[in-house]
Amino acid sequence: MTLTKNQFSVLHTMLKKSGMTQREIAAACDVSLGTVSSTIAALKEAGCVDADGREVTDEGLRQLKPYKVDNAVIMAAGFASRCAPLSYERPKGLFRVCDEVLIERQIRQLQEAGIDEIYVVVGYMKELFFYLEDKLGVHIIVNDEYFRRNNTSSLYAARYFLRNSYICSSDNYFTVNPFEDYVYDTYFACAYSDGPTDEWCVEIGPYDRIVKYGVGGADAWYQIGEFYWTKDFSRRYMDFLEEEYDEPEVSDMLLDAFFARHINDLPAYVKRYKLGDILEFDTIDEIKRFDDKFVENMDSRIIDNICVSLGCSENDIGSFEQIKRGNTNVIFSFCCDGTKFVYRHPGKGSEQIIDRYNEAYAQHKADALGIDGTTVAINPAEGWKISRYVENCYDFQYHCEADALRAFDLMHRLHAAKVQCEWKFDIMANCAHFRKLTDERGWRSSFEIDELRVDVERVYHFVESDGVEKVLCHNDMCDSNIIVSENDIRVIDWEYAGMADPANDVCSFIVGGEHSHDEVMRMLELYFGRDLAPEELRHMFGAIALVSYHWLLWGVYRQSVGHDAGSLLYYWYRYASDYSKRALELYAPSGHLVLP
């Protein structure tokens, strides 16, 4: 016997509470009294309920067994960038909301429904979840790919445990317990949006099957909360995923997108919820509206740092927004009493490549010279910094010669000051360090770097033999570190500052974007204010090769810890390859060189 949906619903309802009247069963199943009557008659005939139609028999239990929930998988590996800055200190699933830890609340709700086999897939700050095994009896699965791939990697990590399974997100807050010990078929939890939404929306066909699934819609049902997968659905989904897992376009797919890719072969249905049954907090401000004590109860060191530095309370701070442009760090803006600030939090692995005390020294010098001047507070021991937000600024444009000249003027001012510091920015020593760190992580780049290294090392010796005087340089003057407005220009983020060849600054400026050789020559002429002498030209070509090689190896290292430098990796490779050859073609013995 294969149970119909009505037979399952009636039988399951009777199992949960024996002795119910048919009217009570009809209300619980949301079907007519006549449907209940005919369904119970069929169940009696099959021996699934007793003669009175009030109790489930052993045969009824046997018929329900294929629908028994085996387990739950809770995905908790992600970073939750929209909940910056609190997600820098702990994963979102460990946020305490209304005096309950989000993931603990969800685990208890599963256990209250009779689901005791629970797997938690962790990645970001994974060690903070380990206590759950002892406290709540769950099983931890580590997703080592969380920083390279989207949440399909968490499913892949749990693939051997997926059967009749709930698939949950650790940060959902269920105001009513949605979990059951028996479920009839695969479903996606959905709520209705009055008006537009950017969530994953469903188009529903016959019998509530999902026939179309995509991002965005209006006046539509959208996915929120848990998924439930039957054994058959789990097997089909994971067969597709295992076959396609290594395809490039799959690596960044959400489980939703992968489902949509195979929607015709993966029958799934809608389970409707009322608005407010399931809460999904995307930002800190949303959580604060639900729990006004949330920030205060999180005991955040970042919030404490802000309060001490600005002399304010937690209630004075809000409007948190992550800024995407940081390559080494995670950065967010916030408002305090109507004034906007920027907080820099040290990124993963940055402590291995940055001397924060040297950064603080260079930062103070840059502020004193009027080259930066945005610093409010900086803590070299912990690596954080608070800066004033520069209003009315716009993205720096390399091809705007007026802005380029303003940037070059700042470089000349910095170099002319001849500030001294104890830290030397040695490109080849840095490159060796990046290679060592990358090798320790077992990461292999797709670039043929070893062959390039031979030419770059030759260039390095030629460039160093020019004997250019070393001064304090920024060493990372790319567009993302130049803040420009109509009446002002500043250079920020002095993490890589140190004693170096002044050519490093103009060359890091050049290699920060894609430029033709003619454009490179024009920028060099603007920087020098004239045509370059032959010995100056070869030196600058050599410096372009060295600087781009340095950032190429930096980018490979950052990839090894989960941060993709994107197209810049290609630009840096091309600059290093092309300009090492150009420099080697021009170099010959010469006297000392002084750069402006």
Q: How is the chain split into domains, by residue range?
A: 5-66, 71-280, 365-374+393-586
Pick the CATH number of 5-66 from 3.30.390.50, 2.130.10.10, 1.10.3720.10, 1.10.10.10: 1.10.10.10
Are the C-beta atoms of residues 414 and 366 closer than 8 Å to each other? yes
Sign of CA dihedral 386, 389, 395, 398: negative
How far is the C-alpha of 557 from the C-alpha of 146, rounded, in Å?
17
Q: Please state, in angstroms and rounded to a whole number, the distance separating the CA atoms of residues 14 and 352.
A: 61
Please list the residues that pair with 323 across neighbouring strands. Answer: 331
Q: What are phi and psi of 305, to 5 degrees?
A: -60, -45
CATH 3.90.1200.10 correct for 365-374+393-586: yes
Which own/partner contact pairs does 251-260 have at CB distance under 8 Å and 24+ positions apart?
Answer: 251/148, 251/149, 251/150, 252/149, 252/150, 253/150, 253/152, 254/150, 254/151, 254/152, 255/151, 255/152, 255/155, 255/167, 255/227, 256/200, 256/213, 256/223, 258/152, 259/213, 260/213, 260/214
Strand 339-345 relative to strand 330-336: parallel, antiparallel, unpaired? antiparallel
Q: Report pLDDT for 396.
A: 86
Q: Are 331 and 325 in contact (CB under 8 A)?
A: yes
Q: Which of 50-59, 436-445, 587-596 has the lowest mean pLDDT?
A: 587-596
Instruction: Check pLDDT > 50 for residue 11.
Output: yes
The domain made up of 71-280 has a fold known as Spore Coat Polysaccharide Biosynthesis Protein SpsA; Chain A (3.90.550)
Average pLDDT, the chain: 92
pLDDT at 327 over 70: no
pLDDT range class, residue 325, cuts 50, 70, 90: very low
Quickly tell me which residue has 């639900």 as its tokens.
290
- Phi, psi (deg, nearest 5) at residue 89: -100, -25
CB-based contacts of 475, cutoff 8 Å, min separation 6: 425, 496, 497, 498, 500, 504, 505, 508
Position 82 scores a pLDDT of 81
Which bin fits 269, alpha (ψ -120 to 50), beta or left (φ > 0)? Answer: beta
The whole-number average pLDDT for the span 409-436 is 94
* Percent above pLDDT 90 for the chain: 76
